[in-house]
């Protein structure tokens, strides 16, 4: 593989992960409300890993070539983000006491929610499908192998950035109930906005 292309992709991937969106919103919510941020972050990473494998196997192009598949994925993703955003906004804020007592949220639901937030968002699939081929070298490794390597870099970037975001939210806000409530609801509104945006985009395409 071409080291220059790898470095260029890594830089672009970092910039993409640093752009706030539904993943950021969920990472912040997990940092404020979960006992551990690991399940949520690993759930998002698992979803992106699955997307990378799908693309490397060549299935991504087949999926995106079928409008009905993308429509169904978009509707599922928007519906889940709207549900999760609404539940986050309506959930009562619970600040921590001085003892830093963690909130009791089990790991599996956090992991599955993380997978759903990242995996049901069609923009992630479309973005990687568009981006990855631009950084493939025509010589050397097979294209599928190169996609796996580049996609793994994207997943690692996400793990690092979203972990930092979640831990910073926990460190700065969990002992500040009022600020925690505002940011938690802001994260919920962000997920709502992304979900509604996807839904509106699909409605415009249909009508």
The domain limits of the chain are 3-9+22-89+103-206
Is this structure's pTM higher than 0.85? no
pLDDT at 158 over 90: yes
Higher pLDDT, 135 or 44: 44
Higher pLDDT, 63 or 164: 164
Q: Of 41-50, 55-64, 151-160, 163-172, where does mean pLDDT reach its minimum?
A: 55-64
Q: Structure tokens of 181?
A: 């409530």
For residues 148 and 136, give the distance between their C-alpha atoms in angstroms, rounded to a whole number: 11
Higher pLDDT, 164 or 142: 164
For residues 41 and 30, give the distance between their C-alpha atoms in angstroms, rounded to a whole number: 9
pLDDT at 165 over 90: yes
- The residue-averaged pLDDT of 114-127 equals 81
pLDDT tens for residues 135-154? 888 777 888 888 899 999 99
pLDDT at 199 over 70: yes
Integer angstrom CA distances of residue 134 from 51, 131, 149: 17, 6, 14
pLDDT for residue 207:
67
pLDDT at 38 over 90: yes
For residues 71 and 45, give the distance between their C-alpha atoms in angstroms, rounded to a whole number: 23
pLDDT at 183 over 80: no
The whole-chain average pLDDT of the chain stands at 81
Q: In which band, very low, low, confident or very high, does the pLDDT at 93 lie, cut at 50, 70 and 90?
A: very low
């Amino acid at each position: 593989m071409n080291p220059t292309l790898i470095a260029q992709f890594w830089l672009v991937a970092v910039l993409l992960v640093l752009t706030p969106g539904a993943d950021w919103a969920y990472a912040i919510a997990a940092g404020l409300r979960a006992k551990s941020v690991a399940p949520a972050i690993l759930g998002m990473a698992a979803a992106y890993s699955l997307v990378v494998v799908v693309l490397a196997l060549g299935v991504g192009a087949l999926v995106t070539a079928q409008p009905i598949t993308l429509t169904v994925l978009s509707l599922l993703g928007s519906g889940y983000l709207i549900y999760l955003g609404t539940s986050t906004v309506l959930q009562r804020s619970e600040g921590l006491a001085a003892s830093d007592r963690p909130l009791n949220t089990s790991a599996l639901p956090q992991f599955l929610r993380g997978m759903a937030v990242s995996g049901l968002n069609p923009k992630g699939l479309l973005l990687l499908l568009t981006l990855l081929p631009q950084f493939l070298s025509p010589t050397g490794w097979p294209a599928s192998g190169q996609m796996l390597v580049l996609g793994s870099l994207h997943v690692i970037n996400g793990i690092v950035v979203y972990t930092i975001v979640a831990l910073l939210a926990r460190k700065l806000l969990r002992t500040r109930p009022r600020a925690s409530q505002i940011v938690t609801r802001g994260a919920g509104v962000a997920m709502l906005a992304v979900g509604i945006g996807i839904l509106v985009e699909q409605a415009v395409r249909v009508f």
